Structure 1
Amino acid sequence: MGLFSRLFGGNKSDKAKVEVEPIEYKGFLIYQEAIEESGQYRIAGRIEKEIDGELKTHRFIRSDVLSSCSDADEFMLKKAQMFIDQMNEQIFD
């Protein structure tokens, strides 16, 4: 049964969702979540902050793609920090 399942797409192994550890920056939490696309990685992630008891989230996706996941995550971190510096809590408006 296992052979036929693999051949015909049954029991596909879904990519396990990896729990991303956030990086705290000036009270914001930055989650680096590069998106794999055709062997490259799109710079993506999210920025979160609890404001007045409500968790606010800003999804961050750029058009840039890089050859390694770690490079995409590092670039995302730098861009997110710059965005926070420029916009502060207005990110969520």
Structure 2
Amino acid sequence: MSFLKRLFGLGGDASEGEGASTGGKVAKEVEHKGFVVRATPFKEGGQFQTCGTVSKEVGGVVKEHRFVRADRFAGLEDAVEVSIRKGIQLIDEQGERLFN
């Protein structure tokens, strides 16, 4: 149940929940094909979980797609690099369809 509480923002310990490792801040940001990929891994169960956003300005409006993957790593650096790679993979596979 605690997973669902954190997922929907219904409580939980901020030291273990999403954004705890980076304080909700972007750990790394890259541009790819006009999109911006931001890595925002968070600490979960003593490891860092793959998480990030892909955004792009479309028609004067910034569209954003958030992704979380099951991949977990002992070190923050590994989680950041995989988060960036996953974001780039999403762009290459789906492009602007991410925002539909």
Shorter-chain TM-score range: 0.7 to 0.9
Give 4+ residue runs of structure 1 displaced > 4 Å after superposition: none
1:42 maps to a residue whose letter is Q
Aligned residues: 80
What is the correspondence of 1:74-85 to structure 2 with a 5 Å cutoff? 74-85=81-92
For structure 2, the residue ranges without an aligned partner over 5 or more in a row are 1-14
1:39 Cα offset (Å): 1.7
* Aligned-residue RMSD, C-alpha: 1.8
Q: Does 1:38 align with 2:39?
A: no
1:63 Cα offset (Å): 1.1
* Percentage identity across paired residues of the two chains: 32
TM-score, structure 1 length as denominator? 0.77
1:76 Cα offset (Å): 1.1
For structure 1, the residue ranges without an aligned partner over 5 or more in a row are 1-13
1:17 maps to a residue whose letter is G
Larger Rg: 1
Q: What is the distance in 1 between the residues matched to 2:31 and 2:50? A: 18
Contact kept? 2:25, 2:40, Cα under 8 Å: no
TM-score, structure 2 length as denominator? 0.72
